[in-house]
Amino acid sequence: MRIFTSCLFIFSCVFGPGYGQLADSKSAVPDPVPEYPLSLYKAATTDAQNLYNGRLYYIYDARDEEHQFFDARKLENGTVFYDGQQYENIPMMYDLVRDELIITHINGYENILLQSPKVKYFSFYNHNFRRFESGNGINPEMRTGFYDELYSGKTKTLVRRIKERQEKIVEKKVIAQFPSKNFYYLYKNGKYNSVRSKKSVLALFPAHKSELRKALREKNIRFRKNREMAIVTMVARYDELTKP
């Protein structure tokens, strides 16, 4: 992020000589810090500090084979729009059980839980997640939370990704499991329509069933084996067929 690069430069100019002396001799005393550059550093990092001003997050069930996160149980750099400002190259994880976004603190040793209402969107692993409130941008019956924007054309497609924590006992030991579920929604006729099967998708486009089936055959996509790619292929072909 540009803000951190600028801050790092200012910080180096202000504290660099003092740090060098301190490393060479424990008795050395850093030079007095000029008041003006220090004030610039504090002002430049005000917005960034807001990003890290949250509750600590501790990874639960960390020793079990399955995990509660999207894609992987590890930090991945991404972009987040938080409290009115966009931040880039932020290490993050997305807890699908709690529907919460976690980032690592700038010190690299602590995980911070971001306040979901302040997160407008975030993206990583080539996925774009946006927060919707029930009845505002989505149907009233759809839950408030983060939705993966699978396709952003005319026929917008959202996916609500969740995991549920379950337990099983193996040799008198409790093992946590996290089965996942995905709920797909296509925007058609002024609202988001829940779809699951190929039949339910085709029902939304009755005049173009044959063309949409052909689109799947051309790319050798089986709906049951690759539901997401099949849905995107079908809605993209529909948008192409109906564009002005």
- Give the pLDDT confidence score for residue 84 in this predicted structure: 94
Residue 239 clears pLDDT 70, i.e. is over it: yes
Q: How far apart are CA 156 and CA 168, in angstroms?
A: 38
What average pLDDT score do residues 70-98 get?
96
pTM: 0.79
Q: Quote the DSSP letter at residue 162.
A: E
Residue 8 clears pLDDT 80, i.e. is over it: no
Whole-number percent of the chain with pLDDT over 90: 74
- Give the pLDDT confidence score for residue 107 in this predicted structure: 80
Give the tens place of pLDDT for each residue, 30-42.
454 445 454 544 4
Q: How far apart are CA 102 and CA 48, in angstroms?
A: 15
CB 82 within 8 A of CB 92: no
- Give the pLDDT confidence score for residue 37 in this predicted structure: 54
Parse the chain into domains and list their residue ranges: 1-44, 196-244
Whole-number percent of the chain with pLDDT over 70: 80
What average pLDDT score do residues 113-124 get?
97
Using a 10 angstrom Cβ sphere, with 0-12 exposed, 13-18 middle and 19 or more buried, the burial of residue 173 is exposed
Q: How far apart are CA 167 and CA 179, in angstroms?
A: 11
Strand partners, 167: 176
Phi, psi angle pair for 89, to nearest 5°: 55, 45
